[in-house]
Structure 1
Amino acid sequence: MRAHSQQVSSPLSGEELRRLDAHWRAANYLSVGQIYLMSNPLLTEPLRAEHVKPRLLGHWGTSPGLNLVYTHLNRLIRSRGLQALCIWGPGHGGPAVVANSWLEGSYTETYPDITRDAAGMARLFRQFSFPGGVPSHVAPETPGSIHEGGELGYALSHAYGAAFDNPGLLVTCVIGDGEAETGPLAASWHSNKFLDPVRDGAVLPILHLNGYKIANPTVLSRLPESELDELLKGYGHEPIHVTGDEPAAVHRAMAQAMDTTADRIAAVQRAAREEGEMERPRWPLIVLRTPKGWTGPAEVDGLSVEGTWRAHQVPLSAVRDNPDHLRQLEEWLLSYRPQELFDEHGAPRPDVLTCVPDDARRLGSTPHANGGLLVRELPLPPLERFAVPVDKPGANLHEPTRVLGDLLEYVMRETAGRRDFRVVGPDETASNRLQAVYAASGKAWQARTLEVDEHLDRHGRVMEILSEHTCQGWLEGYLLTGRHGLFSCYEAFVHIVDSMVNQHIKWLRVTRRLPWRAPIASLNYLLTSHVWRQDHNGFSHQDPGFVDHILNKSPEAVRVYLPPDANTLLSVADHALRSRDYVNVIVAGKQPCFDWLTMEEARVHCARGAGIWDWAGTEDGTREPDAVLACAGDVPTQEVLAAAQLLRHHLPELAVRVVNVVDIARLLPSEEHPHGMSDFEYNGLFTPDKPVVFAYHGYPWLIHRLAYRRTGHQHLHVRGYKEMGTTTTPFDMVVRNDLDRYRLVMDVIDRVPGLAVRAAAVRQGMEDARLRHHAYIREHGVDLPEVADWTWDG
């Protein structure tokens, strides 16, 4: 089968074709060598079993196609002087990307011991998928990569995130046909409706259809070409097809396709930037069809391999034990004619490297793939400019996220010239009370607009699409290429990106151990519209478990904050936006909330992470507390303070300590988390032997898990969300989950020795209040006046 593209003429001379093919063959040879060999890298002696790794790990199937793309991207970059980045979606193509970065020299510059000679080649081969070596996927260790290939679906959204606010950058994105079946990838095709051809870069998707996943055919590869074209055109692209298995013809078609797409992209940008074209462009896309495992063994043990799912991983699996497999491997390696590609010392010959760009234009050396080299400090203002006044605790109410919105509007305005800050979220910026940002930047939008629309802006930096996956991918790509941002989301639905944040945390953990990877801006989540204020939307909108998920991850990379009011939210957000190499999760309410701390008090309290609110308790400093009321989260804090107030009124002789926790990791031992407390600190705060009633924002067992090793754990009683959700009143939500003030007073009475008998009448009064509440809301549909109109009178 010969190759074809939609363009007939070829831009390649015979000499150019020969050199491109040499580069491609060299990359294929190095890819196979990484999977199989641990010595004899240039086959200077007959291949023997001991030259082969005892465990064969890696993926050959997609590698030759990726090598073809890398080769032709090199040509395009060099011939046109482009700044380019490539997202390698088929992460199983690790051998290909490593091979190419070694050929171009960026790998050796990053890892000087992997020299570009026979000895370095041997180390390159041995380290791949080997104990103490490098992973089999395109990983953080791979120069030029910003995309972990261990999980599929995020490549295209990462590519668009990298292109936003990068007007001089071409981001190529290779999408494997297995990845093209995932939900996140399907949604991310719509990213082109948000790409501004004036102020953003360009994204060139290359849909690589080699026909198979691990064991099954792929959907898009089996569609008729006309049906596939209709799908891609519906997404807003103009596809160019490159199909074949004869190398020379494929090279010619691929070079023509690359030139055509570059011309079209340049024309789109020129029309928008110089001629004022306002219509949304149809961006080019390449559909590349080559056989899975191309140029590998056609048949093994009587079964077809090349062009089938059997080529996915290791086509020859018994090389050490099966002489026929060993022979086939040697023939396979020699088919690339390595003596033409590498000199007697093992260095790539000059003809192999003629397509390689220079210096930082090499794909493995672009600073856009090491975003910490480009990141700048955000222009964050003094927080007093936005702080709410607090003359005394609980005297006033504010919507915390609305207050934060004013700060974000300032940051958005101050970064208008340099364009390195974005706010993303799934259609919830205004719902989450952050609409102040619209005064500095509208919502990015390139599609059709109507008169009724508000705040849509072709050049906007507020990003909204009802796909949490796409929001996450955009922001990750944006951060990894050296910018800043915030992801605002309803708390219950951020779980949609659980798997994506897993990969980002793993990426951060690995990059912290790579000295050549400069720290990037943190991935910051603002989770609001939270469980305790979703009484109107009901059970489907109530889930506080993302915090549990995050705190299972690498302690060095994750932080979780539960600010109890507006000023603490400002302090926490300021810290998160300044930080590097973290995933920061901030859970804060958007409904009116009491103001507890002044800005200066908030700073100190947030820096401490957990502390005693002496103004809220009844300790007099002469004796230990009889009980500790602890809280984490805005609604739990209000309920604890209301409970403390009830105890003061009904049991004034009781010494109650109130502890508020902002940084939830403070509960961990210091040896388990950088923010953890020593046992000495923990016991001083919570006491080693007094009852602790802890009102927590999320699932109560998380607090037990964090504190299970503490001396006083047997005295710890946690109240939190117990999946008792419904559509009801705000206070009924806390009552249903036993987090309410009356239940907390009862818990204290039940747990302080000798108090159950002495305070039986008080306890009965608390139970009566709960019963009165149930009757009242069923008759009136709103909370009891004593709850709805409650204020702090301490």
Structure 2
Amino acid sequence: MTEASSFTDNDLHLLDRYWRAANYLSVGQIYLMDNPLLREPLKPEHIKPRLLGHWGTTPGLNFIYAHLNHAIRQRNLDILYICGPGHGGPGMVANTWLEGSYSEIYPDISQDADGMKKLFKQFSFPGGIPSHAAAETPGSINEGGELGYSLSHAFGAVFDNPSLIAACVIGDGEAETGPLASSWQGIKFLNAARDGMVLPILHLNGYKIANPTILGRESDDNLRQYFSGLGYEPLLVSGHEPEKMHRAMAGTLAVALDSIQRYQQQARSGTAPAELPRWPMIILRSPKGWTGPQTVDGKKVEDFWRAHQVPVSACRENDAHRDILEGWMRSYHPEDLFDEHGQLKRELQALAPKGDKRMGSTPWANGGRLRRELVTPSLTAYAINVQSPGETQAESTDALGSYLAGIFQHNADNFRLFGPDETASNRLGKVFNVTSRTWQEPVKSYDEQLAKDGRVMEILSEHQCQGWLEGYLLTGRHGLFNCYEAFIHIVDSMFNQHAKWLKVSRALAWRKPVSSLNYLLSSHVWRQDHNGYSHQDPGFIDHVANKKADIVRIYLPPDANTLLCVADHCLKTWDRINVMIAGKQPAPQWLTLAEAEKHCAAGMGIWRWAGNEQEGHAPDVVMACAGDVPTMETLAAVDLLREYLPDLRVRVVNVVDLLALQTQDQHPHGLSDEDFDALFTADTPVVFAFHGYPSLIHRLTYQRNNHRNFHVRGFMEEGTTTTPFDMTVMNELDRFHLAQEAILRVPALQGKADDILDALAEKIAEHHRYVREHGEDLPEVQGWKWPSQQGGENIPE
């Protein structure tokens, strides 16, 4: 343990009092609704009827916060405090109130006795604030209700932020989660010349809810070896006695910050050694529930799991417990901390940094304050030339890759692409013409697209891609996460937390809008030529559709030009989660760029060129589709219907903006009932070919007039390693099944087209035989094109 020469006895005394003030406020939030300064003995009516909150981790968080304040003032630093322990809300709220940032944001919670009373009462109270660090908490960029994401957020926050240090406190319970365990690798992706730095502070208090923690029981030597192996220089601070701990923490923090400054200066002056530096991290061992009751009812509390939540229960009903609580709170000597008005004493106020240097006011914790608009190039240079619908073949994501390369060229420090080693696989490789993958480790002579200043972030962990992107967005920048569709489910819970964060933050006027979280899901369910059943699951869209309507968007562009339009729109939005799903394989291109722009703006529309309606006559059947493969199979089915039943009046409706199927009161993009009926009619059979599970379309349209006539085909949980077309046949989404469905649903055809149904059934049987004998699809399927003579002006309606 190193002692900092600049940390005087007076510094220690003042800092200890500040820490005691934060602890006092933290306990008060958990227990009190009145008598905040203990101006009279505690009475039952002063105690909250329901005691909720988490004490165990809080004194350690307060200890760290106080020392970081000291370092900011001494060194004029920009530090973002990331509170990893799930329910560290009392500490975050207490410290931001002490420094004044809380009251500036919430003037009703003033820095005096009245404000303190309100501060206490609102905590975990109906109409108040949650017990964990949340969007309502100044200085926070992560939702603390779920563990595991703090360190990935920290790394995302410092990419392209060279002046920022993210001090990330990781609880030893959180350290056991999978996402956190892989987060330590983030150090290998930081470029000291361009990025800021993360200072991980592993807070070991030994226990989680009711058990010891794994790392908490490890020896100091094992911890040093473990984190040294990960590439860090671990610095240990351990103990119980406040004076020794303060001196040790001040000295250790000074060593860590000196190391960071030295390494960054070397990198930025071009004198850094070739090998990666060992960036510092701090391991802080302190008792769980530090400074709280030693025992309650003869049972151990401090330094044990009983300190985790509410160490002393039933303080309204139990006089003895209330006495313990009062003794505990008075042990902090509130009269030494607050003046007669309930304000923090002046000499303690001076310990907090000023203005935006305060960790509760830092603009990096309110990234909308720093957000710069993304500079986007014109789509014209990247559009696919479509002379006639279906004539041209192209890879949609390849076109998007070219567009993203243009984004990189126009945004040198404001955009990054994240993905789990799938950028090239998803056909976005054109970005490598202008940038490389970020790579700080040694590079072999035969390696490709690796560079220290690369802006494509690849790590084989969906958790880290999501966490990095969230941290990057929440500190004011823009990005895109590309992933295989089936495996995006790995971050379902992370998506949940971000969606909740956006929902809450959008209702907070002081939270400025941040760029949207954008997903591109490719290698999707319908084209897994060499992957098996494990890679076949389109259910993420169902998961997304559960969230608040004004937060989420789901787009299913049918070709490259619509994908370009959708991506260009999504990258310019804010406070949203946008999901784009597009295949990477060569596929027919249907719309010109101008047509695509009009179609995407409408969200869905009639493809007049694909149908054969007669003016003045309603269609006999509506063939609807959402998704690139469902669109192709629908058009192929329409081609078959024209061959077999030329007099059948067919309308084709393509849906790009999936949630626009909902009513206007369900979703902001929802079509009016009048517009919906204009597309799908009020009584015509609708055969809907859908990219995902059929039940979602029924769920989205159940309030529509014609819902009873919707007949949806989609993924039926059938799949294996097989040909592209066989995947559609196995799930009855292929052209033959769709044509059969249309015939069966048109009342006028009942009993009159059995020979056609038999012919289509034979086609399905022929396919089954052929694909299993030859290992490829029928020639007529592989070579199918939309007949050019049927093409014409496309005017989506």
- 1:112 equivalent to 2:98? Answer no
Is 2:535 aligned against 1:541?
Answer: yes
**Structure 1 SS opposite 2:26:** helix
- Does 2:722 match 1:728? yes
For 1:406-555, list aligned pairs within 5 A.
406-416=402-412, 419-555=413-549
State the alpha-carbon separation in 1 of the partners of residues 533 and 585 from structure 2.
18
In the alignment, does 2:329 pair up with 1:350? no
Residue aligned with 2:141, SS: coil
Of 262, 265, 270, the match for 1:270: 265
The CA distance in 2 between the partners of 1:511 and 1:632, in whole Å, is 32
Say yes or no: does 1:333 pair with 2:329. yes
C-alpha displacement at 1:683, in angstroms?
1.9
Equivalent position to 2:375, from 364, 372, 379: 379
Unmatched segments (≥5 aa) in structure 1: none
The separation in 2 between residues aligned to 1:554 and 1:243, in whole angstroms, is 45
| Distance in structure 2 (CA, Å) of the matches to 1:209 and 1:670 | 51
The residue number in structure 2 matching 1:366 is: 362
Q: Residue 223 of structure 1 aligns to which amino acid in structure 2?
A: E
Given residue 166 of structure 1, which amino acid in structure 2 is its aligned partner?
N
Instruction: Give the letter aligned to residue 504 of structure 1.
Output: H
Is contact 1:24–1:68 with CA below 8 Å preserved after alignment? yes
1:567 match: 561
In the other structure, the counterpart of 1:293 is 289
CA contact (8 A) 2:237 2:283 kept: yes
Shift of 1:10: 5.6
CA deviations on 1:467-520 (whole Å, 9 max, x unpaired) are 000000000000000000000000010000000010000000000100000000
CA contact (8 A) 2:4 2:250 kept: no
Q: Check conservation: 1:11, 1:255, Cα contact below 8 A.
A: no
Question: What is the distance in 1 between the residues matched to 2:587 and 2:346?
Answer: 69
> Sequence identity of aligned pairs in percent?
60
Provide the C-alpha distance between the structure 1 equivalents of 2:82 and 2:432, rounded to a whole number of angstroms.
Answer: 31
Instruction: Output the CA distance in 2 between the equivalents of 1:752 and 1:89.
Output: 59
Q: CA deviation at 1:91?
A: 2.6
CA distance in 2, matches of 1:491, 1:40: 55
Secondary structure of 2:454's counterpart equals coil
Deviation at 1:45, TM superposition (A): 1.2
SS in 1 for 2:225: helix
Uncovered stretches (5+) of structure 2, i.e. residues with no partner:
791-797
For residue 757 of structure 1, report the CA deviation from its aligned partner: 1.9
Q: Is the 8 A contact 2:139 2:362 kept in 1?
A: yes
Cα deviations across residues 732-763 of structure 1 (Å, max 9, x unaligned)?
A: 00000000001011001111013132222111
SS at the partner of 2:619? coil
In the alignment, residue 156 of structure 1 is paired with which amino acid? L
Q: Does 1:173 align with 2:172?
A: no
Residue 121 of structure 2 aligns to a residue in which SS? helix
Measure the CA separation in 1 of the matches of 2:596 and 2:353.
52
Determine if contact 1:527/1:587 at 8 Å carries over to the other structure.
yes
Q: 1:34 deviation in Å?
A: 0.5
The residue that corresponds to 2:45 in the other structure is 50
Shift of 1:351: 2.2
Q: Is the Cα–Cα contact under 8 Å of residues 10 and 252 in structure 1 kept in the other structure?
A: no
Q: Within 2, Cα distance between the matches of 1:92 and 1:789?
A: 59
Aligned-residue offset at 1:355 = 2.2
SS at match of 1:701: helix
Distance 1:116 1:728, change over 3 A: same
Moved more, 753-762 or 667-676: 753-762
1:751 to 729, 745, 752: 745
Deviation at 1:547, TM superposition (A): 0.5
666-675 or 282-291: bigger deviation: 666-675
User: Could you say which residue in structure 2 is the equivalent of 1:221?
Assistant: 216
Aligned equivalent of 1:694: 688
- Letter of the 1:169 counterpart: L
Moved over 6 A (4+): none
CA distance in 2, matches of 1:79, 1:393: 67
Instruction: Return the offset for 1:535.
Output: 2.8
- Structure 1 Cα separation of the partners of residues 534 and 39 of structure 2: 65
The alpha-carbon deviation at position 680 of structure 1 amounts to 2.2
**What TM-score, normalized to structure 1?**
0.98
Structure 2 equivalent of residue 401 of structure 1: 397
Residue 80 of structure 2 corresponds to residue 69 of structure 1: no
Greater CA drift, 573-582 or 271-280 = 271-280
Q: Deviations over 1:375-400 (max 9, x none)?
A: 11111112112111111111101100
Give SS of 1:285's match.
strand
Q: Does residue 769 in structure 1 map to residue 797 in structure 2?
A: no
1:249 to 239, 244, 247: 244
- Greater Cα shift, 669-678 or 343-352: 669-678
1:447-486 deviation line (CA, Å, top 9, x unaligned) = 1221221010101110000000000000000000000000
AA paired with 1:732? D
- Report if aligned partners of 1:520, 1:580 keep a CA contact under 8 Å in 2: yes
User: What's the CA shift for 1:354?
Assistant: 2.9
Q: Distance in 2 between matches of 1:471 and 1:780?
A: 40
Q: Contact 1:116–1:346 at 8 Å: present in 2 too?
A: yes
Matches within 5 A, 1:74-153: 74-153=69-148
The question of whether the paired residues in 2 share the 8 Å contact of 1:535 and 1:726 is answered with no
Partner of 2:784: 790
Q: Does 1:591 align with 2:585?
A: yes
Question: Could you give the per-residue CA deviations for residues 312-364 of structure 1, whole angstroms, max 9, x where no partner exists?
Answer: 11111110000001111111110000001000000000222232111100000
Say whether residues 1:558 and 2:544 are aligned partners.
no
The one of 271, 276, 279 equivalent to 2:275 is: 279
Instruction: Quote how far apart the aligned CAs of 1:8 are.
Output: 5.3
Using the alignment, how far apart are the partners of 2:166 and 2:771 within structure 1?
57
Contact kept, 8 Å, 1:627 with 1:692, in 2: the verdict is yes
CA deviations over 1:118-167 (Å, ceiling 9, x no partner) = 00111111111111111110000001110110000011000000010000
Distance (Å, rounded) in 2 between the aligned partners of 1:747 and 1:487 = 37
CA distance in 1, matches of 2:495, 2:286: 33
Q: What CA distance in whole angstroms lies between the structure 2 residues aligned with 1:667 and 1:83?
A: 46
Q: Is the 8 A contact 1:10 1:253 kept in 2?
A: no
2:167–2:200 contact (8 Å) kept in structure 1: yes
Q: How far apart are the structure 1 equivalents of 2:174 and 2:682?
A: 53
Aligned residues of 1:563 and 1:587 also touching (Cα < 8 A): yes
C-alpha displacement of 1:370:
0.5
SS of equivalent to 1:578: coil
Closer, same or farther: CA 748–568 of 1 in aligned 2, 3 Å: same
Q: How does 1:648-687 map to 2 (within 5 A)?
A: 648-687=642-681
**Whole-Å Cα distance in 2 between the matches of residues 259 and 638 of structure 1?**
63
Counterpart CA distance in 2 for 1:334 and 1:753 is 82
Displacement, 1:677?
2.0
Give how far 1:96 is off. 0.3
* 1:385–1:9 CA distance, 2 compared to 1 (3 A): closer
Aligned residues: 787
Letter in 2 for 1:560: I
Structure 1 letter corresponding to 2:262: A
Report SS of the residue matched to 2:747.
coil
Q: Which residue of 2 aligns with 1:39?
A: 34
With 388-397 and 566-575 compared, the bigger mean Cα shift is at: 388-397
Paired residue type of 1:562: L
* Structure 1 match to 2:575: 581
Separation (CA, whole Å) in 1 of partners of 2:15 and 2:680:
69
* Counterpart residue identity of residue 202, structure 1: M
Following superposition, the deviation at residue 711 of structure 1 comes to 2.2
- Aligned-residue Cα RMSD (Å) equals 0.9
Matched-pair contact (CA < 8 Å) for 1:237–1:282: yes
